[in-house]
């Protein structure tokens, strides 16, 4: 830890989006986070929060269980905060207020608030109901977080701005175009919070500010209202914030946060984190801060982000238990001021990687799987490694030369197959089907112990069932071919001569 990061906050981002852990799991997790060096939690409730009154439709439970409210009850939201307090972890709620509002804008009730009618991501800041809706969401969130000092208002990746007729007019008539559109909305949201909760400090993702001129940011006095969280999730090779970012921010913002990533940033279908990537991201951030120490007045701290999905509609990527080794490594790298092999040894020992090493790179599959680890939910990681090994075996078989040579789609269509080969394939598919079904059963049990059952449903439905169905189809095709016996090649399709 260097002079800048010493004494700063270390927030762990809990992205509840579609993968809310059960309280019994958080009860085991929070003491570990504290012991590993975390000081707080950045909780992104999204649709898992139990909104009430005319917002109650927003809760995820209303979609799946046809009752009203989010995955968590108000009592559970309170219990999660109590658990955090017991473990000396502060809580900062994160609520999107401009872009990434799919969980709001997907509902027909709020469809009219979309900036682009067909796209549910960004809100129209000019619609007369937009700000009142955001105010209601913020009010309900703050009301149920009585002890917070900060609130994060998101506002990253506002993909669509200035596109509806009203916003287009505003962009054309405003001095600073889209920058005014963005900043006016942010100022409205931030001012509402300041007016009603004057002691709350406001954090915002910084990416939408990166291309706005310093003079414009100063004109809005943005630094007096919000504190930017500068995020970058790439490793050293592709890490770049641009040459003038710190000069700009040093002239506008007295307080700075940063956002790193320990999961959910290396691929939208990733199942187990690529540890090397995340270690490098943290090392590079340490170097970046070190190089710009004189341009940062007050460094608030770092949010270790862990994304569950790339957006509300996307497939689940790395689940929290699978990413605890990555989180432990990243926290230790941060606290240690860099990575070294002793750090890897001590984290490996702490997490129970004794006979199977904790790999920094994606392993060559099939890879050995640990049998006993020392962190909550390790069984899910073991199940995922098992699934990835099985998927590798499945791909090796379905993409094999043997299948191409003796059981391709043309041969199946023409009933032209050799039973000697096909009988062998039936045995292979039977074994594979048994293995896929075994992984499915194991993961079903383990996922349901940690998460809402929707997580197990989604994982199995989207990742395992397609493989299982494909193997079943192949096996059934094999059995049909064998039952038909040897067929002569259909002579009508045989090429006997070539045109000269
Ligand atoms: Zn608009």
Give the model confidence (pLDDT) of 277-297 as tens digits: 999 999 999 999 999 999 999
Q: Exactly one of 75, 117, 157, 361 is catalytic; which is it?
A: 157
Q: How confident is the model at residue 499 (pLDDT cuts 50, 70, 90)?
A: low
CATH number at residue 332: 3.20.20.80
- Beta carbons within 8 Å of 308's beta carbon, 6+ residues apart: 15, 16, 17, 18, 19, 264, 316, 317, 319, 320
Q: Which of 77, 84, 95 is nearest to 39 (CA)?
A: 84
Are residues 205 and 324 both part of a single domain?
Answer: yes
Q: For 187-191, 274-278, 481-485, which range has the lowest pLDDT when averaged over its residues?
A: 481-485
On whether the CB atoms of residues 57 and 108 are closer than 8 A, the answer is no
Residue 203 pairs in a beta bridge with 152, 227
Angstrom distance (rounded) from CA 461 to CA 465: 5
DSSP secondary structure code for residue 42 in this structure: E
Distance 168 CA to ligand 1 centre (A): 7
**Is it the case that residue 330 has pLDDT exceeding 50?**
yes
Are residues 330 and 382 both part of a single domain?
Answer: no
Query: In this predicted structure, what is the pLDDT of residue 18?
Result: 75
On whether the CB atoms of residues 239 and 279 are closer than 8 A, the answer is no
Q: Is residue 368 part of a domain?
A: no
Instruction: Provide the percentage of residues in the chain whose pLDDT is more than 70.
Output: 95
At which of 332, 351, 370 does a domain end? 351
Distance 167 CA to ligand 1 centre (A): 4
Are residues 273 and 341 both part of a single domain?
Answer: yes
Q: Is residue 469 part of a domain?
A: yes
At which of 283, 316, 351 does a domain end? 351
Angstrom distance (rounded) from CA 442 to CA 445: 5
Q: Is residue 289 part of a domain?
A: yes
Tokens (6 digits) for 106: 């997907």
Q: What is the mean pLDDT of the chain?
A: 94
The total number of structural domains in the chain stands at: 2
Angstrom distance (rounded) from CA 339 to CA 373: 22
On whether the CB atoms of residues 426 and 479 are closer than 8 A, the answer is yes
Distance 220 CA to ligand 1 centre (A): 21
Are residues 49 and 110 both part of a single domain?
Answer: yes
Are residues 135 and 81 both part of a single domain?
Answer: yes
Distance 50 CA to ligand 1 centre (A): 28
Are residues 325 and 199 both part of a single domain?
Answer: yes
Instruction: Provide the percentage of residues in the chain whose pLDDT is more than 90.
Output: 89
Q: Is residue 476 part of a domain?
A: yes
Strand, helix or coil at 352? coil
For 328, the domain range is: 9-351
Residue 44 pairs in a beta bridge with 15, 94
Are residues 334 and 393 both part of a single domain?
Answer: no
Are residues 92 and 181 both part of a single domain?
Answer: yes
On whether the CB atoms of residues 202 and 153 are closer than 8 A, the answer is yes
Are residues 293 and 416 both part of a single domain?
Answer: no
Are residues 208 and 343 both part of a single domain?
Answer: yes
Tokens (6 digits) for 96: 């999107």
Give the model confidence (pLDDT) of 188-212 as tens digits: 999 999 999 999 999 999 999 999 9
| Region for 284 from its dihedrals, namely left if φ exceeds 0, alpha if ψ lies in -120 to 50, beta otherwise | alpha
On whether the CB atoms of residues 274 and 266 are closer than 8 A, the answer is yes
Are residues 72 and 123 both part of a single domain?
Answer: yes
Q: Is residue 500 part of a domain?
A: no
Distance 95 CA to ligand 1 centre (A): 20
Angstrom distance (rounded) from CA 329 to CA 281: 12
- Angstrom CA distances, 22 to 48, 405, 439, stand at 12, 49, 22
Distance 315 CA to ligand 1 centre (A): 29
Residue 423 phi, psi (nearest 5): -60, -35
Query: In this predicted structure, what is the pLDDT of residue 62?
Result: 46
| Residues less than 5 Å from ion ligand 1, measured at CB | 115, 124, 126, 164, 167
At which of 315, 336, 351 does a domain end? 351
- Give pTM, 2 decimals: 0.95
Query: In this predicted structure, what is the pLDDT of residue 7?
Result: 84
Are residues 334 and 407 both part of a single domain?
Answer: no
Q: Is 157 a catalytic residue?
A: yes
- Beta carbons within 8 Å of 375's beta carbon, 6+ residues apart: 32, 321, 324, 325, 328, 351, 352
Distance 188 CA to ligand 1 centre (A): 15
Give the model confidence (pLDDT) of 431-452 as tens digits: 999 999 999 999 999 999 999 8
Distance 164 CA to ligand 1 centre (A): 4
On whether the CB atoms of residues 37 and 335 are closer than 8 A, the answer is yes
């Amino acid at each position: 830890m260097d002079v800048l990061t010493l004494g700063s906050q270390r927030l762990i981002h809990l992205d509840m989006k579609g993968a809310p852990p059960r309280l019994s799991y958080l009860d085991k997790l929070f003491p570990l986070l504290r012991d590993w060096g975390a000081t707080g939690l950045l909780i992104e409730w999204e649709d898992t929060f139990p909104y009430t009154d005319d917002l109650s439709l927003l809760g995820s439970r209303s979609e799946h269980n046809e009752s009203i409210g989010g995955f968590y009850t108000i009592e559970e939201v309170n219990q999660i905060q109590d658990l955090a307090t017991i473990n000396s972890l502060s809580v900062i709620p994160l609520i999107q207020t401009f872009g990434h509002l799919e969980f709001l804008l997907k509902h027909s009730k709020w469809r009219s608030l979309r900036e682009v009618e067909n796209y549910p991501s960004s809100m129209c800041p000019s619609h007369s109901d937009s700000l009142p809706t955001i105010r209601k969401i913020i009010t309900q969130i703050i009301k149920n977080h009585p002890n917070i000092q900060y609130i994060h208002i998101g506002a990253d990746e506002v993909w669509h701005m200035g596109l509806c007729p009203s916003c287009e007019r505003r962009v054309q008539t405003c001095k600073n175009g889209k920058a005014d559109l963005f900043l006016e909305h942010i100022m409205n949201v931030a001012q509402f919070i300041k007016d009603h909760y004057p002691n709350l400090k406001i954090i915002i993702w910084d990416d939408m500010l990166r291309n706005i001129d310093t003079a414009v940011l100063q004109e809005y006095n943005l630094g007096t209202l919000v504190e930017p969280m500068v995020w970058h999730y790439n490793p050293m090779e592709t890490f770049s914030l641009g040459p003038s970012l710190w000069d700009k921010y040093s002239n506008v913002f007295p307080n700075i946060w940063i956002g790193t990533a320990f999961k959910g940033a290396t691929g939208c279908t990733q199942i187990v984190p690529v540890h090397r990537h995340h270690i490098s991201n943290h090392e590079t951030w340490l170097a970046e801060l070190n190089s710009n120490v004189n341009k940062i007045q007050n460094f608030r701290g770092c949010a270790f982000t862990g994304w569950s999905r790339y957006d509300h509609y996307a497939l689940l990527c790395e689940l929290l238990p699978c990413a605890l080794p990555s989180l432990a490594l990243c926290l230790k790298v941060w606290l240690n001021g860099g990575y070294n092999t002793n750090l890897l040894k001590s984290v490996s020992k702490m997490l129970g990687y004794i006979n199977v090493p904790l790999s920094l790179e994606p392993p060559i599959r099939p890879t050995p799987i640990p049998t006993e680890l020392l962190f909550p939910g390790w069984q899910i990681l073991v199940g995922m490694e098992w699934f990835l090994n099985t998927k590798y075996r499945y791909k090796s078989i379905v993409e094999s030369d043997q299948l191409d040579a003796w059981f391709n789609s043309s041969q199946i269509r023409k009933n032209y197959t050799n039973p000697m080969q096909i009988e062998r394939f039936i045995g292979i598919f039977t074994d594979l089907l048994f293995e896929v079904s075994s992984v499915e059963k194991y993961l079903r049990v383990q996922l349901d112990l940690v998460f809402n059952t929707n997580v197990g449903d989604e994982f199995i439905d989207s990742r395992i069932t397609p493989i299982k169905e494909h193997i079943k189809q192949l096996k059934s095709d094999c059995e049909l071919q064998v039952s038909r016996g040897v067929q002569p090649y259909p002579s009508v399709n045989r090429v006997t001569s070539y045109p000269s």
